[in-house]
Amino acid sequence: MRALMFDGALKLQEIDPPVRPPNHALLKMRAVGICNTDIELLNGYYNFHGVLGHEFVAEVIEGADEWIGKRVVGEINIACESCDYCQRGIPSQCHNRKTLGIRDYQGAFAEYLTLPVRNLHAVPDSISDDQAVFVEPLASALEIPELVHIQPGSSVIVIGAGKLGLLCAQVLNHLGADVSVVVRRQKPRELLAAWGIKALESGSLMESSTDVVIDCTGTEDGIKTALDIAKPRGSVIMKSTYARKANINLSQAVVKELRLIGTRCGPFPAAIRLLARKSIDVESMIDAHYEIEDAVAALDAANESGKLKVIVHF
């Protein structure tokens, strides 16, 4: 089967299809979205070598009978089911987990994939393939209200108007919060205008002005700005991983009694509900479509500055 491999260099390669272990489904890939994490992996993050990809929609072709023929999305953490986090119902923090296309597990940029049946979620007919590849990143945005009580009366600023930032802004806007997004480019500015969400210039940010700040940049500049503009007793949500160490003034966090909260993978069922209800606009965030034979070009395109979602079809 064809797969998008990274072994220091990125290439489309013919590899053996996976052998299905017990309690796993064999999936035939339909579409895969490209995430900034994929780009980071190409830059050496996690020292990953193998098949990339973790935002996917596929069809079940082998495994548990009741799933055959169904379109599914899949949770990306392959958990051990026995550690204390698995016992507590938090498999995303399993001590022994593998992570689809990120850590110790071959990813979704391949014609076939096996995944534990318990990781699968059926995709209703009302959600298209293009929309379904957003389930994983939308779930990640939903991890913010999953872990943090965001009050409807809060002022919220999202730093970073990329794919994840725009999903976070839509999610928090639905809560009733007063959401603004720091924007540099025209495309996200237009999307935000269409959604009724305010766009801000970075020059207009005010110190200690904001109840909840979401850093979607994963950069030192992003977290520094977040610490600056958060109000005393405010929350700073770290939504992206940081490719490099950040050199920051933690006394700001102490003196303002801030909460810095890291968030990662989120609830798939909630993401599916919101997409089925058309509450979140993801289609406007799609910038390009590619076929699997052009997957290397797709990654190149996704790597262009300001590019929103790029989807690869099978």
In the complex, the residues that contact a second copy under the rule CB under 8 A are: 85, 90, 93, 95, 143, 147, 208, 223, 232-233, 238-243, 245-264
Least separation in angstroms between CB 193 and a second copy = 30
Nearer to a second copy, 187 or 256 (CB): 256
Nearer to a second copy, 195 or 242 (CB): 242
Query: How would you label 31-54 residue by residue, b for 16+ Cβ within 10 Å and e otherwise?
Result: bbbbbbbbbbbbeeeeebebbbbb
Least separation in angstroms between CB 305 and a second copy = 22
Query: How would you label 228-261 residue by residue, b for 16+ Cβ within 10 Å and e otherwise?
Result: bbbbeebbbbbbbebeeeeeeeeebeeebebebb
Least separation in angstroms between CB 143 and a second copy = 8
Nearer to a second copy, 198 or 224 (CB): 224
Nearer to a second copy, 54 or 239 (CB): 239
Pick from 121, 215, 122, 117: nearest CA to 168: 215
Q: How far apart are the first and last CA of the chain?
A: 11
Least separation in angstroms between CB 258 and a second copy = 5
Nearer to a second copy, 26 or 258 (CB): 258
Q: Which residues contact 279 (CB under 8 A, 6 or more apart)?
A: 174
Q: Is 87 exposed, middle or buried (0-12, 13-18, 19+ CB in 10 A)?
A: exposed
Least separation in angstroms between CB 19 and a second copy = 30
